[in-house]
Chain A
Amino acid sequence: MLKVENLHVSVEDREILKGVDLSIGAGEFHVIMGPNGSGKSTLALTIAGHPKYTITEGRILFGGEEITHLAPDERAKRGVLLAFQVPPDVEGVKIIDFLQQVLIELKGMGPVEAYDLIVKKAEDLWFKEEDLHRYVNVGFSGGERKRLELLQAILVEPKLLILDEPDSGVDVDSLSIISRKIEELNKRGTAILLITHYGRILEHLDKDSLRVHVMKDGRIIKTGSGNLVERIEREGFSDIFEEVGA
């Protein structure tokens, strides 16, 4: 469903991704791990269409169609959704108004239907109705931001959900609800590309069904099953890097 081919990406004339290949089938669960600064978020943002990241070589296909140069909203309409590592504040825009509009645009819902659905799904993620009248991300704690990102994913039910560190900086209880919700989405057919530094969020998943990619310096240098996660947690990256000569 998603095919990334030989992707080279630069920011301000500095090459960050240096030839990434990645292929994700419908409903699959992929994980990307890698040291800080290796280019994981860059890959995620490039797939979502961030204008700051210039694709200098290679292409991105989604559902057989090339989306390399499509605007971000066009990608979203085709079923790509990114849950941000650091979602920005949007001053003055109420969560409820924003999400309503998203559901109207993406799902063709009516405003009332959208409102009810948002309130219901928000409850599952511990947001009260009055929280939804706050401005998007403004004054939200790190953990609240992650839950709000996930709420959007649940509402939209994209074909491909890219999650950029949904588990960083969240408390134990939030982590368990976040990982449960991700599993649920995956079971309902959403393909997942999850960027993380820790195995904990994957605890309940069948290790054999996971595809784990290790990123270093703008390249995917190894791909394996869920067991790779444990190994990284145990040994760190250096042995793996040595093994593949990276």
Chain B
Amino acid sequence: MTETITISDAKAIIKNQIEELAKRNKEPNWMTRIRYKALEAFEKAPHNDPIISEEELLHFIAKPEIEGLPENIESLDDLPPEMKALLDRLGISEVEQKYIAGLAVQTDTGVIYNEFLKEWAKKGLIVLPTEEAVIRYPDLVKEHFLRLFHVDESKLTAYHTAVWNGGIFLYVKEGLKVPFPLHLFFLIQESALAQAPHIIIIAEKNSEFHLIEGCTAPILVKHSLHLDMTEAYFSEGSKGQLTVLQNWPEYVHTRPMTRAKIGNGARFINTTVGLGTGKSNVANPKYWVEEDGYVELNGILLGQKDWFVDLGGEMYLQGKGAAGINASKAVIMDNSTVITRGIIKAKAPKTKGHISCDALLLSDKATMETYPGLVSRVDDAELSHEAAIGKIREEELFYLMSRGLDEEKATQLIVKGFLEPMLKDIPMEFLVEIRKIIELAVSGGM
């Protein structure tokens, strides 16, 4: 860092960005006002991040793009060679590679996307880039935008709100059950390439959906701090699944902010597969669960290189019979640090909560910490936790090797087996790639 960026420098930069975004998106005034309010909040909002200091944050704001990446990626040949090699090794198709590179987003798929969604739109499924939803469904967006966050909670929330761009808006009409997982690759890619995407999910009464975000392959983002925010609203009896696949390049710091309100009898299964967590990944999703509602947070983490992962998770069981599960499985390699800290607070009778954390340590230099927190304000809540941090058992490794598998292959098999139970809801086409990435990570080939 050469020059010092002051807070007023940063504010001036953010102000410019807001003006640019407002113009580009042709967004209504009410949204631009939200951005300006966030800008005002930015200065006084607290900043506490275990990795990024306030000074660094201001630098990110002044200079969000990272250096050394090709200016213009016009074809796959412009990708950094290591990345191209990795994509080839993973066997990723050329079409998919193009998305990953940020190429051909609209041209190749606009058509398919429209055809497909038009059918479902008639039935009451809305999927749009969030910017477009702001214009086409202003009332719905107003009612749900930034309702689960306070703009002044932290500098990161304020900054995100001021400059958000990209993201998806998903609305599922009452009673509509979407029978297949929605993986809107092009939309998601666009939002991953954006620095601060904002995702809104609204599941009306008794609706059902499964949204898959992200992709298994590493994405060539150009920024070094990624701040996505997800707000999800589940009405009575709805069932939703959100699977987030992440494979961030190693220069990115990610601070995903996820919150969800789970209504009476609603269910939400939130799975995060962190194949590449990026340089650092700090998340503390929050869930409020009403009567007989259910939430499950499943975290799969591959700690690699010198990366830092801090996965929290707060669940507030506030209705009678509400239940929450926070389960994580981490494979920790190299010099990485992985911390998990789930908290479940039982505030109503007959609530149930369970935290489990399982970690497989593959390196003596890696660090794993786990801090489960259980808080009960009632006398008949059932809260429990279990944690196990271990190495690969010699007996298992020897058994597999005595069948002719070399140490690397045997280790890969054990690691895949360790994570397998957590991958139960992930469609086959992703599983194949996920397994390949795990293999590569274990043998140090990522």
Contact = CB atoms under 8 A, between A and B. Distances in A.
Interface in B205-243: none
Interface in B416-446: 416-421
Contacts of B409: 101, 105
Contact of B402 (A48, A90, A91, A97): A48
Given A93-B413, A97-B413, A105-B404, 9 more contacts: A50-B398, A51-B394, A72-B402, A76-B404, A81-B402, A88-B395, A92-B417, A93-B417, A106-B404
A84 B402 CA distance: 10
A115 interface: no
Nearest to A102: B403
Contacts of A87: 399
B399 A73 contact: no
A39 interface: no
A73 B401 contact: yes
B401 A76 contact: yes
Nearest to A80: B402
Nearest to B412: A101
B417 A72 contact: no
Contact of B400 (A81, A90, A92): A90
Interface string A69-86: 001110111000110100
A97 B402 CA distance: 16
Contact of A73 (B394, B407, B418): B407
A102 to B, nearest CB: 5
13 contacts: A48-B398, A48-B402, A72-B401, A75-B402, A76-B404, A88-B393, A92-B416, A97-B413, A102-B403, A105-B404, A105-B405, A105-B409, A106-B404
B404 A73 contact: yes
A152 interface: yes
Interface of A: 48-52, 71-73, 75-77, 81-82, 84, 87-93, 97-98, 101-102, 105-106, 135, 152, 156
A71 B401 contact: yes
Contacts of A92: 414, 416-421
Interface string B384-412: 00000000011110111111111101100
A89 to B, nearest CB: 8
Contacts of A75: 402
Contacts of A89: 396
B402 A101 contact: no
Contacts of A49: 398, 401-402
Contacts of B417: 90-93, 135
Contact of A76 (B395, B403, B416): B403
A84 B420 CA distance: 25
A228 to B, nearest CB: 29
Nearest to B406: A73
Interface of B: 393-396, 398-407, 409-410, 413-414, 416-421
Given A49-B402, A105-B409, A106-B404, A93 B394 contact: no
A136 to B, nearest CB: 8
Given A101-B409, A101-B413, A105-B409, A73 B396 contact: no
A126 B394 CA distance: 30
A92 B358 CA distance: 13
Max count, chain A CB within 10 A of own CB: residue among B400, B403, B410, B413: B403
Contact of B413 (A98, A106, A152): A98
A90 B396 contact: yes
Nearest to A77: B404
Nearest to A82: B402
Given A76-B403, A101-B405, A105-B404, A51 B418 contact: no
Contact of A102 (B394, B396, B404, B419): B404
Contacts of A105: 404-405, 409
Contacts of B413: 90, 93, 97-98, 101
Nearest to B395: A88
Contacts of B405: 73, 101-102, 105
Contacts of A152: 403
A156 B289 CA distance: 53
Contacts of B394: 51-52
Nearest to B410: A73
A72 B406 CA distance: 8
Max count, chain B CB within 10 A of own CB: residue among A71, A91, A92: A92
B414 A90 contact: yes
B420 A76 contact: no
A50 B398 CA distance: 6
Contacts of B421: 92
B414 A93 contact: yes
A92 B98 CA distance: 34
Contacts of B416: 92-93
The 5 closest A-B pairs by CB, nearest first: A92-B417, A76-B404, A93-B417, A92-B420, A72-B401
A88 B402 CA distance: 12
Contacts of A51: 394, 398
A225 to B, nearest CB: 30
Contacts of B399: 84, 87-88, 90
A65 B409 CA distance: 25
Given A73-B407, A98-B413, A101-B409, A91 B418 contact: yes
A71 B406 contact: yes
Nearest to A93: B417
A139 to B, nearest CB: 13
Nearest to A137: B399
A208 to B, nearest CB: 32
A145 to B, nearest CB: 12
Max count, chain B CB within 10 A of own CB: residue among A91, A93, A135: A93
Contacts of B396: 88-90
A231 to B, nearest CB: 33
Contacts of A101: 405, 409, 413
Contacts of A135: 417
Nearest to B418: A92
Max count, chain A CB within 10 A of own CB: residue among B400, B418, B420: B400
B413 to A, nearest CB: 5
A103 B413 CA distance: 15
A221 to B, nearest CB: 28
